[in-house]
Structure 1
Amino acid sequence: MTTLVLCVDRSDDIGRTTGLKSPIVGWEAVQSLVTDVGLDDPEDSRVNCLLETLRVARDLRDDREEPVLAVVSGGGDSLVGADRSLSTQVDDLVAEHDPESAIVVIDSANDERVIPVIESRVRVDSVDRVVVRQAHDIESTYYLLKQFLADEELRSTVLVPLGATLLLLPVLLTQFSTAVALAGLAGLLGAALLYKGLAVDDLLSEVPERVRSALYSGRVSVVTYAVSFGLALVGAFLGALAVTPQVGPESAIVSVMQFAYSAVPWLALAALTASTGRLLDELIGSDGVSTPYLNLPFGVIALGLVGRGFTGWFLQRESLLADPQIAGYAVTPQQRLAAFIVAGIVVSLIGVKVAASVSSETLEDAVQKQ
Structure 2
Amino acid sequence: MTTLVLCVDRANDIGRKTGLQTPVSGWEAVQSLVVDVGLADPEDTSVNCLLEALRVARDLRDEREEAVVAVVSGASESIVGADRSVAAQLDELVAEYDPESVVVVVDSAEDERLVPVVESRLRVDAVDRIVVRQARDIESTYYLLKQFLADEELRQTVLVPMGIGLLLLPLLLFRFESPALAVAFLASLLGAVLLYKGLAIDERLANVPERVRDALYSGQVSVVTYVVAAGLTLVGVFLGGLEASALARGDAVVVPAIQFLYSSVPWLALAALTASTGRLVDELIQTDEVRSPYWNLPFGVVALGLVVRGFTGWYLEREGILPHAFVPGIGSELPPTYRLAAFIVAGLVVSIVGVAVASNVTDESLDVR
TM-score (normalizing by structure 2)? 0.61
1:174 corresponds to which residue?
A: 174
**Measured at CA, do residues 264 and 138 of structure 1 come closer, stay the same or move farther in structure 2, by a change above 3 Å?**
closer
**Which of 217-226 and 318-327 deviates more?**
318-327
Q: Deviations over 1:179-237 (max 9, x none)?
A: 11111111212222222222222111111111111111211111111111110110000
**Measured at CA, do residues 148 and 308 of structure 1 come closer, stay the same or move farther in structure 2, by a change above 3 Å?**
closer
- CA distance, structure 2, for counterparts of residue 323 and residue 142 of structure 1: 70
Q: Tell me the CA shift for residue 251 of structure 1.
A: 2.1
Q: Does 1:162 align with 2:169?
A: no
- CA distance, structure 2, for counterparts of residue 138 and residue 303 of structure 1: 58
- CA distance, structure 2, for counterparts of residue 305 and residue 137 of structure 1: 61
What SS does the corresponding residue of 1:251 show, helix, strand or coil?
coil
2:42 corresponds to which residue?
A: none
Q: How does 1:354-365 map to 2 (within 5 A)?
A: 354-365=357-368
Aligned match of 1:246 in 248, 254, 260?
A: 248
Q: Deviations over 1:239-270 (max 9, x none)?
A: 0111223244x521111111111100000000
**Measured at CA, do residues 60 and 360 of structure 1 come closer, stay the same or move farther in structure 2, by a change above 3 Å?**
farther
Provide the alpha-carbon RMSD of the alignment.
3.7
Amino acid of the structure 1 residue aligned with 2:360: S
Q: Tell me the CA shift for residue 154 of structure 1.
A: 3.7
**Measured at CA, do residues 325 and 212 of structure 1 come closer, stay the same or move farther in structure 2, by a change above 3 Å?**
same
Q: Does 1:302 align with 2:303?
A: yes
**Measured at CA, do residues 159 and 363 of structure 1 come closer, stay the same or move farther in structure 2, by a change above 3 Å?**
same
Runs of 4+ in structure 1 over 4 Å off: 59-65, 127-151
1:341 corresponds to which residue?
A: 344
Q: How does 1:67-216 map to 2 (within 5 A)?
A: 131=129, 133=131, 151-176=151-176, 177-216=178-217
Amino acid of the structure 2 residue aligned with 1:169: L
1:321 corresponds to which residue?
A: 322
- CA distance, structure 1, for counterparts of residue 195 and residue 321 of structure 2: 41
- CA distance, structure 1, for counterparts of residue 199 and residue 358 of structure 2: 36
What SS does the corresponding residue of 2:195 show, helix, strand or coil?
helix
**Measured at CA, do residues 139 and 294 of structure 1 come closer, stay the same or move farther in structure 2, by a change above 3 Å?**
closer
**Measured at CA, do residues 333 and 225 of structure 1 come closer, stay the same or move farther in structure 2, by a change above 3 Å?**
same
Amino acid of the structure 2 residue aligned with 1:199: A
What SS does the corresponding residue of 2:253 show, helix, strand or coil?
helix
- CA distance, structure 1, for counterparts of residue 302 and residue 208 of structure 2: 29
Q: How does 1:51-70 map to 2 (within 5 A)?
A: none
Q: Tell me the CA shift for residue 147 of structure 1.
A: 7.1
Q: Tell me the CA shift for residue 324 of structure 1.
A: 2.4
- CA distance, structure 2, for counterparts of residue 269 and residue 320 of structure 1: 24
Q: Tell me the CA shift for residue 160 of structure 1.
A: 1.8
- CA distance, structure 2, for counterparts of residue 139 and residue 64 of structure 1: 35
Amino acid of the structure 2 residue aligned with 1:300: V
Amino acid of the structure 2 residue aligned with 1:219: Q
**Measured at CA, do residues 330 and 165 of structure 1 come closer, stay the same or move farther in structure 2, by a change above 3 Å?**
same
**Measured at CA, do residues 199 and 133 of structure 1 come closer, stay the same or move farther in structure 2, by a change above 3 Å?**
farther
**Measured at CA, do residues 169 and 325 of structure 1 come closer, stay the same or move farther in structure 2, by a change above 3 Å?**
same
- CA distance, structure 2, for counterparts of residue 321 and residue 237 of structure 1: 20
Q: Deviations over 1:264-301 (max 9, x none)?
A: 00000001001101111111122510011111101111
2:237 corresponds to which residue?
A: 236
**Measured at CA, do residues 131 and 227 of structure 1 come closer, stay the same or move farther in structure 2, by a change above 3 Å?**
farther
2:218 corresponds to which residue?
A: 217
Q: Deviations over 1:282-333 (max 9, x none)?
A: 1112251001111110111111111111111111112211222222232221
- CA distance, structure 2, for counterparts of residue 342 and residue 300 of structure 1: 15
What SS does the corresponding residue of 2:287 show, helix, strand or coil?
coil
- CA distance, structure 2, for counterparts of residue 148 and residue 132 of structure 1: 22
Amino acid of the structure 1 residue aligned with 2:217: Y
**Measured at CA, do residues 129 and 340 of structure 1 come closer, stay the same or move farther in structure 2, by a change above 3 Å?**
farther
1:92 corresponds to which residue?
A: none
Amino acid of the structure 2 residue aligned with 1:158: V
Aligned length: 256
- CA distance, structure 2, for counterparts of residue 207 and residue 200 of structure 1: 11
Q: Deviations over 1:104-134 (max 9, x none)?
A: x9xxxxxxxxxxxxxxxxxxxxx96754648
